[in-house]
Amino acid sequence: LKIDKTAMAHGERSLDDIEGLDAALNNIAARARGTKTPLAPLVSVSLRRGQATFHFADPVDLAAPWKGEGLLWHVELGSVEGDDDVLSPYPMLVSVGHDTTGVLWLVNLEPMGSIALTGDPEGAQDFARHVAAELALNPWSVLVQTDTFGLGEELGDLDTLRLRTHEIDDPEIDAVVAEIRAASQRRSAVPEPWQVVITANGDLGPVIEASRAAALERFGVAVVSFGAASPDDAALFEFSPAGCLSVPTLDLDVDAAGLNAEEAALCAAIVDVTRVTPTTDIPTFSQAADGWRSITDQAGALRTEFTSPRPNGAAGATSLLPADTRDYVEAAAATDADIDELAPCAMDEAAQAIDALDPSLDEDVAEWFDGTSRLPRLALLGPVRVTAHGKLVDQITKRRPYYSELLAFVALHPRGVLSRTIAQAFHIGQPRARTDIGFVREWLGKDPRTDEWHIRKQGDHPETEWHGYEVNDLLVDVDLFRRLRARGQARGAEGIADLVQALHLVSGKPFDQLRDQGWSWLLDGERLQDLIPCAVVDTAHIVVLDALQRGDLDLARESAETACNAAPYDEVSRLDLAKVLEAQGHAGTAEDMLRDDVFNRRDDYEPPVDLPARTKEIVAKNGWGRQPLSWRENPHSGRSQAPSKADSTGDSKRDAGS
């Protein structure tokens, strides 16, 4: 969970840095392509606030947007475009740590050839493990073959192609040395593949000798040793017990990067999950849930005890999709299982129950869309936003993202939350939590319906046993969405209008534009940031099925595009949009989108992933993927230009139907 929270807090920003740095590296190679000037050796790169500074060993000359001269050049990450047709010029670039000013430093291992990790043995070993992990995952290291000896068994699942782990006395080291020697016989000025050996074995002579023999204009080989005698010509990386790293040859001192065995195993497990994502059921609310939550799952669908399976033939008016299952499968991008799962028949008591448990739904929805309403609103189905009409104190004005998150935390605990729980989630003291909740209470003000505070606290109602905080009459779009979906399903065929209204609440990717390093508490509970996009996709899928079967192409496209924007990596919505485009007469555009976002989708450096069984079935039924791939391609970007408002750049990461 710690790794998960770290990835959530820092991952998006790190991803931008990684993608920007990869593009900058490729841009250097693209500029050198076709010239007779060899690439200048790169020593290191420093990253700070979206800017990369490149430190070269020889003078270089780079054009705008690069800035600098001689050995030192700067570029804003994201300001240059990468080139997929060039090899990354410096594939052994790895991060080594942050200096006292917060700058992240990366060092190019290749020109060093031999690197000895000395000093604190635990710090050296953790750093060696970190280097192995980076070389297995960095996009610019795709052609680096890394072998570890006496290290990294827990990293084995990171990448079985780029990273090979061995026991310390594994005789396989002789085969690795033979590979290096053989590579030296066929290498040109640009080595391919590059090879890194990370070892705790003190007998490095053969490997060092082989690396020198392989060197033409460039080494192409680096040897990193730890826990062993240092070769005389090795570059020293010195580790202190306090966790500092010093590289004398580079005049560099940083807080050392590193992975202990447990952290490495967790990282490998997370990476492994992204390769094959299992399909899981949507969870239900707890047994203590009341109101509309007592009859739905957490995505707003009716619990199974309030539904019955679809019959053979037409399902009738008690189902959201009343026609025969075959009618929808023939008209849309769907399977029999989709219809059976998403549109069962609602029992008669379901509609009665939802009307009794949620009588204010229509009024609340009207208030949400009424720009003059005085009720506060919390938008989570897109960029997080709060609309309130109470007292806007200076603290709220200066730190609005923080207080918006605090309100969301209380609002997403409908049974109330204690100040102790708030303090733990936000890593603050209880007095600070009470003070901050007081500011939010003032911000929301009093309920125009009851003239009571929107946020109730201990003492407001002494007759109750409640000793915390809860929010009342706050309109939350996530809850309105689920309430509409539940009522729509309970009403059967007449409930499609509720599902359409629910989709109108969606303004983008749910839980978007979160506060930097905040919201980690989402990982402790229902994980709504993962669950709600699935709810949007399933709801849109039902609407698209109904609309295509009835011939309402405009509604079908609007719904499919809403789902694509809400869940950019979902394959269900991509197939829905392709079918709608085809029905509208844009068959070429649909085929292009399928090629880029389904057939050839790539989540990493590896070839396109195999299609899920559901996708294969739908593709075969529609005869997709059989036409030439030449039309409408943009020669500059390699992507198709579809006349769609949806963001069509996502790669499917969620197995269809999950």
Q: How far is CA 117 from CA 120, 124, 203, 409, 439, in A?
A: 9, 6, 15, 45, 52
H-type helices in 187-254, by residue range? 205-214
What does the DSSP 8-state code read for residue 412? Answer: T
Give the range among 3-7, 178-182, 375-379 with minimum mean pLDDT: 3-7
pLDDT band at 301 (very low <50, low <70, confident <90, very high): very high
| pLDDT, mean of residues 330-354 | 95
Q: Which two tokens stand for residue 119?
A: 């000093």
Backbone angles phi, psi at 116, to 5 degrees: -110, 125
What percentage of residues in the chain have a pLDDT greater than 70?
85
pLDDT score at 640: 35
pLDDT band at 38 (very low <50, low <70, confident <90, very high): confident
- Three-state SS across 116-130? EEEECHHHHHHHHHH
Please classify residue 62 by burial: count the beta carbons closer than 10 Å to its beta carbon, then call 0-12 exposed, 13-18 middle and 19+ buried: buried
Q: Is 174's pLDDT higher than 50?
A: yes
| pLDDT, mean of residues 370-389 | 96
Longest dimension (CA), the chain: 86
pLDDT score at 203: 64
Q: How far is CA 198 from CA 132, 268, 538, in A?
A: 8, 18, 48
Cβ(246)–Cβ(127) below 8 Å = no
Give the range among 116-120, 229-233, 401-405 with minimum mean pLDDT: 229-233
pLDDT digits 0-9 by tens, 563-610:
999 999 899 999 999 999 999 999 999 999 999 899 988 766 667 778
| pLDDT, mean of residues 531-543 | 97
Q: Which two tokens stand for residue 453?
A: 């505070």
The angle subtended at Cα 60 by Cα 58 and Cα 65, nearest 5°, is: 145
Please classify residue 69 by burial: count the beta carbons closer than 10 Å to its beta carbon, then call 0-12 exposed, 13-18 middle and 19+ buried: exposed
Length of the chain in residues, anyone?
658
CA 447 vs. chain centroid, Å, equals: 38
**Across all residues in the chain, what is the average pLDDT?**
86
Measured from the Cβ of residue 13, the count of other Cβ atoms closer than 10 Å reads: 12
Cα(112)–Cα(580) distance, integer angstroms: 56
* Helices and strands of the chain, counted as H and E runs: 20, 21
Which residue bears the tokens 């931008």? 16
Cβ(349)–Cβ(362) below 8 Å = no
> Which residue in 98, 109, 100 sits closest to 47, CA to CA?
98
Cα(168)–Cα(152) distance, integer angstroms: 11
pLDDT digits 0-9 by tens, 188-207:
555 567 889 898 876 666 66
Q: What is the dihedral of CA 577, 580, 581, 587, to 10 degrees?
A: 110
Measured from the Cβ of residue 492, the count of other Cβ atoms closer than 10 Å reads: 22
pLDDT band at 232 (very low <50, low <70, confident <90, very high): confident
Cβ(445)–Cβ(391) below 8 Å = yes
Cα(435)–Cα(243) distance, integer angstroms: 37
State how beta strands 144-149 and 114-119 pair. unpaired
Cα(225)–Cα(299) distance, integer angstroms: 52
CA dihedral (259, 261, 266, 269) positive or negative: positive
Cβ(500)–Cβ(391) below 8 Å = no
HSE (side-chain half, CA atoms, 13 Å) at 547: 25
Cβ(143)–Cβ(194) below 8 Å = yes
| Residues facing 386 on adjacent strands | 378
What does the DSSP 8-state code read for residue 74? Answer: E
pLDDT digits 0-9 by tens, 440-495:
999 999 999 999 999 987 655 555 555 579 999 999 999 999 999 999 999 999 99
pLDDT band at 127 (very low <50, low <70, confident <90, very high): very high
pLDDT digits 0-9 by tens, 40-83:
899 999 999 889 999 999 999 998 999 999 999 999 998 988 77
More confident residue, 562 or 286: 562
Q: Which two tokens stand for residue 631?
A: 């039309």
Cα(330)–Cα(622) distance, integer angstroms: 9
Residue 146's H or E segment, with its range, is: strand 144-149
